[in-house]
């Protein structure tokens, strides 16, 4: 029995940090009750200021949106809104122009069988807020994969868009 107990280790989620010579493993912060954490995008404005985004599962469902901030020493979870309260939510990409200005993009769906929708969240240094995203008339499916912000409030997000004809096209949303 002692041997079996030793094999049941707690799973450690983490990131790799490069210091100019070597990579080192740094554990991620885990939301309360969080399981199966995944980071899909990262943006750094300095060596000690990064934001990473992705998703995680909670004991009652998921995936749920996840954002973490790096301060040069450790990761800290930032609370993020979920567009679908009882659905599937994930953040795919993030771009920051400063530690107080980030934009993240993601995909949500009401269930595994519902068409996905793209969404955008903005960080103002205090909290993440959902932003309205326009889509062409007749849109059934929207997914946003990555975003780039060369200046505050000026971003371009790319993904795909599909209508009832099942034809999908590249979608580019631009602000600024």
Give 153's contacts (C-beta < 8 A, 6+ positions apart). 101, 175, 176
Structural domains in the chain plus CATH codes: 32-174 (2.120.10.10)
Q: What does each of the 176 residues of the chain score in pLDDT, given as a tens digit?
A: 444 444 444 456 788 888 889 998 999 999 988 989 999 999 999 999 999 999 999 988 889 999 999 999 999 999 999 998 888 999 999 999 999 999 999 999 988 888 888 999 999 999 999 998 888 788 888 899 999 999 988 999 998 888 766 555 566 666 76
Residue 9's SS3 state is coil
pLDDT of residue 176: 61
- In the DSSP assignment, the letter for residue 63 is E
pLDDT of residue 13: 75
pLDDT of residue 11: 53
pLDDT of residue 136: 79
pLDDT of residue 6: 42
Q: Is 7 exposed, middle or buried (0-12, 13-18, 19+ CB in 10 A)?
A: exposed
Instruction: Identify which of 87, 119, 90, 100 has the alpha carbon closest to the alpha carbon of residue 51.
Output: 100
C-alpha–C-alpha distance, residues 60 and 51, integer Å? 26
């Amino acid at each position: 029995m002692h041997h079996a107990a030793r094999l049941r280790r707690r799973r450690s989620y983490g990131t790799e940090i490069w210091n100019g010579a070597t990579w080192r493993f740094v554990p991620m912060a885990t939301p309360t009750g969080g399981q199966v954490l995944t980071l899909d995008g990262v943006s750094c404005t300095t060596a000690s200021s990064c934001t990473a985004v992705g998703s995680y599962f909670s004991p009652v469902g998921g995936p749920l949106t996840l954002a973490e901030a790096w301060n040069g020493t450790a990761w800290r979870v930032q609370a993020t809104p979920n567009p679908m309260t009882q659905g599937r939510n994930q953040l795919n990409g993030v771009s920051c122009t400063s530690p107080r200005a980030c934009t993240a993009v993601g995909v949500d769906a009401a269930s595994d069988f519902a068409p996905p929708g793209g969404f955008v969240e903005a960080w103002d240094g205090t909290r993440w807020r959902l932003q309205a995203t326009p889509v062409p008339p007749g849109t059934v499916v929207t997914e946003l994969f990555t975003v780039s912000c060369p200046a505050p409030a000026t971003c371009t997000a790319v993904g795909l868009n599909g209508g009832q004809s099942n034809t999908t096209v590249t979608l580019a949303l631009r602000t600024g």
